[in-house]
Amino acid sequence: MTGENATPGAEPWLAVLGAGVMGTGIAALAVGHGVAVSMIDVDRRRLAEAPARVDRQVRTARLMGALPDSTSPGALDAGLSLAEVSTGYAGNLVAVVEAVTEDPDAKAKVLADVSALVDPGTPIVSNTSSIPIDELAGAVARPEDLVGTHFMNPPYLIRTVEVIRGRRTGAQTLTAVRRLLAVLRREPVVVDDAPGFVTSRILHPMINTAARVVAAGTASVESVDQLMQGCLGHPTGPLRTADLIGLDNLVDSLWVLHARTGDESCRPCDLLVAKVRSGHLGRKSGRGFYDYEGDLT
């Protein structure tokens, strides 16, 4: 798990950029598997809330048997920048995971900043559901160090991780990410780069279509999900899945897909857009296609 620049005997250390839903989920997965994590976010309120959110997820994962019993949790700290937290570690930065909002410009800026700080050969991982890695590679100093991942939510329950190999991703970077995922007991499936990769290119237009069916009055939200579960074997139903993804993240991803493929099935439907404008973002906001009052994490 340690890279060529690691300090022998030092504690493995993962930096996670972004303390939102996916950032805290990835951090909880790592902490639960004994890896020290630094959470980085410029939003002070979100950063202050992150340790408690990570702790809740670690405890939930342990209660569900999703973490190894014999592993002590890794340390967790938080800061406004990578430079701020790096002084507390002995140089064993195994990877930096960028998990900011699904916006190409925002991701490119964060990736450019971090690539200027870390040593060459340190894997820089963009956790994205739709943005091509080759597109983001234009922002980093060393494109060979950049690789994509698409963790599913919640990361501690879903063992398979989509890994995106950009055209310029180096073999050493891919090997390092496989090694990290092995420590986290995740199963990587490596795919080539394209807008939406595999999972989002298939799933997100399907969710969009499900929302259109509801908007047309053909069936209720509950009926759509029940039919997809009972007849087609979808584990949660597309609209409950949308709430788990976050409707704002889903709409952002659909716009990325629409702009880069021209596929009209990826244009976010009016119902999705209206829910986002109303602040009904899914489980994380307490309301989306379903209500989650009193069930926020």
pLDDT tens track for 42-61:
999 999 999 999 999 999 99
Among 150, 204, 234, 258, the active-site one is 150
Which of residues 141, 160, 192 is at a domain's end?
192
Q: Yes or no: say if 143 and 150 are a contact pair by the CB < 8 Å rule.
A: no
10 Å Cβ neighbour count for 6? 18
* pTM score: 0.91
Q: Give the domain CATH number at 277.
A: 1.10.1040.10
What are 178's two structure tokens? 């496989």
Does a structural domain hold residue 50?
A: yes
Q: Chain-wide mean pLDDT for the chain?
A: 93
Residues 117 and 212 in one domain: no
CATH number where 37 lies: 3.40.50.720
CB atoms within 10 A of CB 182: 12
Beta strands at 160-165 and 187-192: parallel, antiparallel or unpaired: parallel
CB 15 within 8 A of CB 145: no
Could you give the number of structural domains in the chain?
2
pLDDT in tens, 245-266: 999 999 999 999 999 999 999 9
Strands (E), 8-120: 13-17, 36-40, 76-79, 93-98
Is 204 one of the annotated active-site residues of the chain? Answer: no
Q: Assess contact for 247 and 241: CB atoms under 8 A.
A: no
Q: How far apart are CA 87 and CA 292, in angstroms?
A: 40
97 and 244 housed in the same domain = no
Question: Is-contact 131 147, C-beta < 8 A?
Answer: no
